Chain A
Amino acid sequence: MSKGTVSVEVKGLNVGYITDKGYTRVVRNANISIPEGKITGIVGESGSGKSTLANSLIGFINPPLFVESGSVIVDGKYDVLAMDPDQLNQVRGKIISYVPQAAQNSLNPIRKVKDTINDMLRGHGMDLSTNRESVLKTMEMVGLSDRQVLDMYPFQLSGGMRQRVIIAISLLLSPRIVVMDEPTTGLDVIVQYDILKLIKKLQKQMSLTIVFISHDIAMLFQISDYVAVMYGGQIVEYGEYSELLGNARHPYTYLMLNSVPTVSTLGRKLTKIPGEFEGFSNYPKGCVFSQRCPFATPQCRDSPPQAYSYAGVFFYKCSRYPEWRDQK
């Protein structure tokens, strides 16, 4: 890969939940370097910890979430997990921005769109009236050229339009990095496609670094340059999307990609991964995927694999690569 700069560096991150019975670790020893100016996708099942990881990137860890150890360095200098709220507010929105999951609920229901935008701007010491031009320009960029949208309440807008509003808001302060957590969930397929196109366009136009989290494998691979695969709170593989498609290093990646219906799988039976994740309170002893992995050996179940890196920043956590590829 081209040796670009690293936008976000995650080192040894362990995050978990405080429960009635103590503490449950969710994200385990996450290490990843998110490159600048590219779209990095993070894919995983529901409950794999990807949203928790996404929240850590903007330092959004509130009780009952709890950072056990590790660091997240944004833009080379901001250690978001160690900063206090005032410092964080300088970074959020301006350097690194966020498009939330189920964005439909993220707009203040009793404020008009323009008032919410005003709230956001005032949070950074600006306001709508002096920045009207740039706001309108941003709205047009996301495809909302009708100025009436500003005067509407969220419940008056369609899902796709609300999503565009959220994306516009996230770009208001010209951030360099945007974290998008399932930005297309809940939208119908055609609108999803439009939003994806929009994101790609914006990324090119503004040279953004985008971190795109989703459970929709096909969609993720359509848009991402680099992909990180999460399972059971760990990043089990990270690499260029074309590499993962053709030559996945981790069995989970391979099986997951083969379970997606495509034109080439027409007529064939899709792969199904048997069993289900044991849960964070019941964490497997060895490799996190060993219980369900068809290529696992007793050694896999016994001791967790280390991360094998290649091409500098990419890695995979499987001790049986490349042997398992001969077995498939």
Chain B
Amino acid sequence: MSPQYVIKRAIYYIIIWFFGITLDFVLPRLIPGNAIDTVIYGRIGASGYYNPQVQAEIRTTIEQLGLKQYNLPIYVQYFDYLKQLVHLNFGASLLEFPVPVGKIISEAAPWTFGIVIPAVVATFFIGNLLGRYAALGRGKPRDYVVIGASMFLYTFPVFVTGEVLIEFLAVNIHIFPIGGQYNTQAFFRPTLSLPFIWSLIYHAILPVTTIILFSLAGWVMGMRNNMIPILQEDFMNYYRAMGVPERQVASRAYRVALLPNFTSFAIAMGYSVLGAVAIEYLFNYAGLGFFFNQAVQALDYPLLNGIFFLLVTAIVLSNFVAEIVYGIIDPRTSHEETEGI
């Protein structure tokens, strides 16, 4: 894989990333009138107004959102915006004024990744194996059951799946906790003790399970639809014609079918964060998704921007990584350059 290729793709993704950021810049400035001002100043209130630190936060917020007080030309605004971005400074959250947005995000992010990463990893394994199970038995009842169940869980609104899990596994039968990240009555703050870790896991099971159920279909269908044509490929038939047992043929096919899925793995990571957005609110799980929803409901614009920035970066990055990883894994790509755009 030539360095030029990597650099070319990197530039490409950086451009996309810039568009995302610019979008974030443009949107608040499109709103006519001083509606945003009203919301913001309404939130901040008069009490924190004179504190110099608070003043600084307010100024950053004004800059980031391009409010009326910030009467400089657009390109200057853009540069200031970018300048603040480099310092990851989004101003202070409106709802939790004057806590800086950056602080909220950095505390929330680990929780989100804490559910997303195990969920994606688990779904990858379970989903691919199920897809293989379905592909090998295609046309038979097990194929229909696997496809039907996974597709249904996917099209069923993910938050409702979560609600169902809560109602029946947490409320009716007290197997799992209703929500929260850990037992707040037992632990005042996170410690590194075993009981705490167990509490963490215990509270993460339902959210993670919800994401898994929801995302299975992607892998199942992907693997199944990959594997079926591969099983019929000439080189697979050649193995069979030479007397290689079907079991071994199947695992060869599985490997070939798995290849493109590695690309999807990275992308799935990116999109699972979106899934987390959907359900964290439900489970009272204080991750990025929770705060995103809170920001949406409470019109907390700085926080919204901060989280959006993080999400866009995460997704663009995961797409880029996916492309590179696929290039490395598939020997065909690393020996020939693929088309650009």
Contact = CB atoms under 8 A, between A and B. Distances in A.
A/B touching: CB–CB < 8 A: yes
Interface of A: 58, 60, 85-86, 88-94, 97-98, 100, 102, 105-110, 119-120, 122-124, 153, 155-156, 166, 169-170, 173
A60 B240 contact: yes
Interface residues of B, number: 22
Given A110-B256, A119-B252, A102 B242 contact: no
Interface string B229-251: 00001110111111111101000
Contact of B243 (A91, A108, A155): A91
B189 interface: no
5 contacts: A93-B242, A100-B238, A105-B235, A122-B244, A170-B242
A153 B235 CA distance: 14
A169 B239 CA distance: 10
Interface of B: 233-235, 237-246, 248, 252, 255-256, 259, 330-332, 335
A241 B242 CA distance: 29
B243 A93 contact: yes
Given A120-B239, A153-B331, A89 B244 contact: yes
B287 to A, nearest CB: 38
Given A93-B241, A98-B242, A123-B243, 7 more contacts: A97-B242, A105-B234, A106-B235, A106-B237, A106-B238, A108-B239, A166-B238
A119 B239 contact: yes
Contacts, number: 79
A123 B234 contact: no
B243 A124 contact: yes
A213 to B, nearest CB: 14
Nearest to A169: B242
Contact of B234 (A60, A92, A100): A100
B236 to A, nearest CB: 8
A41 B30 CA distance: 78
Contacts of A85: 245-246
Contacts of B246: 85
Contacts of B233: 105
Nearest to B329: A110
Given A108-B252, A109-B332, A89 B238 contact: no
Contacts of B235: 105-109
